[in-house]
Structure 1
Amino acid sequence: MPTTPSTAARRTADELRRGLLRTARDVADDLAADAIARDQAGEPPTDEAARLREAGLLAALTPPGPGRGADWRTACAVVRRIAAADSSVGDVLARHYVHAWSGRFYAGPHHASALEEESAREQWLWTGAVRTPGPHEDTDGPDLTLRPRDTGYVLNGRRFVDTAVSVADQIVVDALCAVTGDDLLLRIPLGARGVTIEPAQDRLGQRVVGAGEVVLDRVTVPPGQVLGRRPHDEESIAPFTALAGPALRLALCHVGLGIVEGALTEARDLSRGGRAYRLPGADPDLFLTYGELASAAQTATAVVDRATEVMAQALDTGAQLDAEEPAGVAALVATAETVTSKAALHVTARVLELADAPGLDRFWRNARVLTAHYPAAHRLRSIGEHYLNGSHRAVAAAFH
């Protein structure tokens, strides 16, 4: 049977996917070897970023394009595998991948393409802290402000960044123009003049993510670093741009699944190795516990995988995305987030009852920090309102 161009392209894509997953497995094995020691040290992810860069994962996990990048499904699989070995590094990689999409979400196609090519070529590490559109809740005004000048803007303020704040190459933020009132999306190179970093200290979990505040003092922002302008009214945002928030939260669901898988695997290995409170011989209660935890993990995986597939289809649609679709995607992501958060906290707490081993507590600590910012009740009310009334506002509210 002759090979058609489409068949050859699919084979090439499959080979690239398998190769990328093999690389992720190798990096994960390397990270797992010293995960406990690095968690205890709690240092910025300088070495971890170097490992990702040397393995080619920073260049590979950029939006898909001719001869470069990774599709959404593959990237999420890579993130989950890395997170199972070290959820801090999985968190860094998840946010890197989604923020690398910023050009497509906010800028024009030509700007986005050039940015992605440069990112892959230079192996940039991306991070960011983009707030949801809407009125600023801070009564003192926005935390980041821009003022126009002849060569672009001047940026001032400070913003907390969840990962890689001291090691990233590009930081994506939104800021309010003090003159026009426009809400602009920007990318700021870490080495830009006027950028300083204040690392977060003594974190409960996710200790190696490199969180902290970026302080911006009269930072020059040339026009090429402005990604786009965002409407104040969230209902006026382009459908494709509306995927940005749910995409980040869904990528973090894969980090949560990685935590679940890592905790279960480590507990199982301890039980098999005779280092658990109860040995696996013929203990029906032990079988029941593992059956319950494995079922919780598989249920969360099924829900997240469904949301991942729907998100992938929406991203593939691009600018032709129907105005109604983002709300449905966001509802699935909110559901996946709810189920994953519950599973991660439950599984990581229960494994502590099965074995007493140094470092096993890190899974619960990491899950707790990863899920702490997004209360389940808030999401569930939004999901319920969307289910009953089809309210787009309710779904958008779930990502505030």
Structure 2
Amino acid sequence: MTIAPPAPAAPFGDSDRGAPVTSADGATEWGTPREDWPHIARELADDLATDAVEREQAGKLPLDEVARLRESGLLSLLVPAERGGGGADWRTAHTVLRTVAAADGAVGHLLGSHYFLSYCARFFAGPDRAARIERTFAAGQWYWGGGIASQEPPLILTPTANGYLLDGHQRYGSGVGVADRLLVRAAVPGTGEPVAVLVDTAQPGVVSGGGGDTFGQRLAAAGGVSFDSVPVTRDDVLGSLSSDDGALSPFTGLAAPTARLVSAQFCLGVAEGLLGEVREHGRTVASPWHPFSPQPWSGGPPQDPYVLTAYGELAVAARAASALADQAGDALTRGLERGEDLDDEEGAEIAVLASAAEAAAARAAQEITTRALEAVGATAAFARHGLDRFWRDTRTHTLREPVAHRLREVGDYFLNGAHPPFSLPA
């Protein structure tokens, strides 16, 4: 059996509550005009920041955090308003993601993964089916977890009289401990064709756990998940994930840069969050380089040239990576708007720009979350400040997404004009 790649579609989405009511000005049942989403994200971030250190150190399953995301309406941010969602585009989603990640990296990771996975019906399912999923998703405010990266050994999808049975173990999935739905990669017996499969976590045979004991992103509810003869309907098989040349349209290929930019925005959010924290320390605490300073610290505005230079370098790194990410985000938005009119070369340019943005953001985040602690000095090691969580969240993420792969893609395109291969991140 071969599942041909369907035409791209709209977004996703079963629940016991009705779909949000949308008014002419774009407001949902939450009373939120779409232009207010960044403000809602800021309020949520401020709320998360009040106890971020305590929650991160406790490391409990983020049920409350996901409930806050659900109550805010941010989970269905990218769903068109006419289908009950927030009606926002990826520019807004990037702003929201960075704002949340700056306050709590693990919750930012949860939200970013959800945005990408819940958007995948637009890439891999047909328009009618994607619209049905999306309406149900928005009505139920599902949280999406899982992962469809090619690094994962595919699960097995066995045909039955009424659909399929899903079996196997996925070593790593995002948010698997709290997800309402999982999007996973499975293989069709015989052909081995990889397909994207939507799974209801309430189905018998879905068991999450294991592999989530990382030193960072402790509240991301990530880890392994097993499937034991889990029933799957034909409608829940969204479409092909084949990376063979010509198997996917240029529009469908935008799934990869979409995911890359989620990664970049997450890195930038965490880096900006730490910069905001250390700025307050830098204004009120003596410089760790005080013995080398020409004048003793008087308690006034910092004047130590070493400190000012260090913060200047970190601010430049953050702003440069942010500008590149925003440029790539604008290119992605234009590509998504072109839809099926997008050609291969345009898709490749967007993919390369997204790879460059992810590489720059990852490098900037690693530099900032390391050197900013040096600028604070010995007090940065105090557990009560929780500054180490920014470094740990960043490093956990970048270990899964090595910068070297993105740099190779950019270099091959620059030198040889080679289009980046279709690959989805972990």
Q: Work out whether the TM-score is over 0.5.
A: yes
By how many angstroms is 1:382 displaced? 1.8
By how many angstroms is 1:265 displaced? 0.4
1:373 aligns with 2:400: yes
Partner of 1:155: 166
| Contact 1:166–1:199 (8 Å) recurs in 2 | no
Deviations 1:187-211 (Å, cap 9, x if unpaired)?
0011111100114343111111001
| Contact 2:170–2:225 (8 Å) recurs in 1 | yes
Alignment length, in residue pairs? 384
1:110–1:255 Cα change, 3 Å? same
Q: How does 1:68-147 map to 2 (within 5 A)?
A: 68=85, 69-132=87-150, 142-147=153-158
Q: Which moved more, 1:260-269 or 1:277-286?
A: 277-286
By how many angstroms is 1:182 displaced? 3.0
| Contact 1:144–1:158 (8 Å) recurs in 2 | yes
Partner of 1:297: 318
1:348 aligns with 2:365: no
Aligned partners of 1:191 and 1:384: how far apart in 2? Answer: 45
Any gaps of 5 or more consecutive residues in structure 2? Answer: 1-23, 291-296
Aligned partners of 1:388 and 1:63: how far apart in 2? Answer: 40
1:258 aligns with 2:285: no
| Contact 1:348–1:364 (8 Å) recurs in 2 | yes
1:330 aligns with 2:351: yes
Aligned partners of 2:198 and 2:276: how far apart in 1? Answer: 39
1:175 aligns with 2:186: yes
Among candidates 50, 65, 85, match of residue 33 of structure 1:
50
1:325–1:65 Cα change, 3 Å? farther
Aligned partners of 1:170 and 1:342: how far apart in 2? Answer: 32
Q: Specify the code of the residue in structure 2 equivalent to 1:377.
A: A
Among candidates 44, 47, 51, match of residue 64 of structure 2:
47
1:149–1:270 Cα change, 3 Å? same
1:171–1:12 Cα change, 3 Å? closer
1:385 aligns with 2:412: yes
| Contact 1:330–1:396 (8 Å) recurs in 2 | no
Aligned partners of 2:188 and 2:424: how far apart in 1? Answer: 26
1:94–1:171 Cα change, 3 Å? same
By how many angstroms is 1:399 displaced? 6.1
Give the TM-score normalised by structure 2: 0.84
1:269 aligns with 2:300: no
1:203 aligns to what SS in structure 2?
coil
Deviations 1:163-207 (Å, cap 9, x if unpaired)?
211111111112111134332211001111110011434311111
Aligned partners of 1:116 and 1:43: how far apart in 2? Answer: 30
| Contact 1:334–1:398 (8 Å) recurs in 2 | no
By how many angstroms is 1:309 displaced? 0.5
Partner of 1:287: 308
1:359–1:50 Cα change, 3 Å? same
By how many angstroms is 1:12 displaced? 8.2
Aligned partners of 2:212 and 2:222: how far apart in 1? Answer: 9
Partner of 1:211: 222
Q: Specify the code of the residue in structure 1 equivalent to 2:327.
A: R
Aligned partners of 1:146 and 1:275: how far apart in 2? Answer: 61
| Contact 1:83–1:258 (8 Å) recurs in 2 | yes
1:56–1:12 Cα change, 3 Å? closer
1:20–1:72 Cα change, 3 Å? same
1:317–1:12 Cα change, 3 Å? farther
| Contact 2:172–2:211 (8 Å) recurs in 1 | no
Q: What is the alpha-carbon root mean square deviation over aligned residues?
A: 2.4
Among candidates 9, 12, 33, match of residue 16 of structure 1:
33
By how many angstroms is 1:131 displaced? 2.3
By how many angstroms is 1:266 displaced? 0.1
Deviations 1:213-259 (Å, cap 9, x if unpaired)?
11000111111211113445144211111111221121111110001
By how many angstroms is 1:146 displaced? 1.2
1:187 aligns to what SS in structure 2?
strand
Give the TM-score normalised by structure 1: 0.90
| Contact 1:73–1:309 (8 Å) recurs in 2 | yes
Among candidates 342, 346, 370, match of residue 321 of structure 1:
342
1:153–1:398 Cα change, 3 Å? closer
1:178–1:364 Cα change, 3 Å? same
Q: Which moved more, 1:16-25 or 1:167-176?
A: 16-25
1:275–1:153 Cα change, 3 Å? farther
Any gaps of 5 or more consecutive residues in structure 1? Answer: 1-8
Q: Which moved more, 1:217-226 or 1:199-208?
A: 199-208
Aligned partners of 1:65 and 1:369: how far apart in 2? Answer: 38
Q: Which moved more, 1:269-278 or 1:151-160?
A: 269-278
1:16–1:320 Cα change, 3 Å? farther
Aligned partners of 2:219 and 2:396: how far apart in 1? Answer: 12
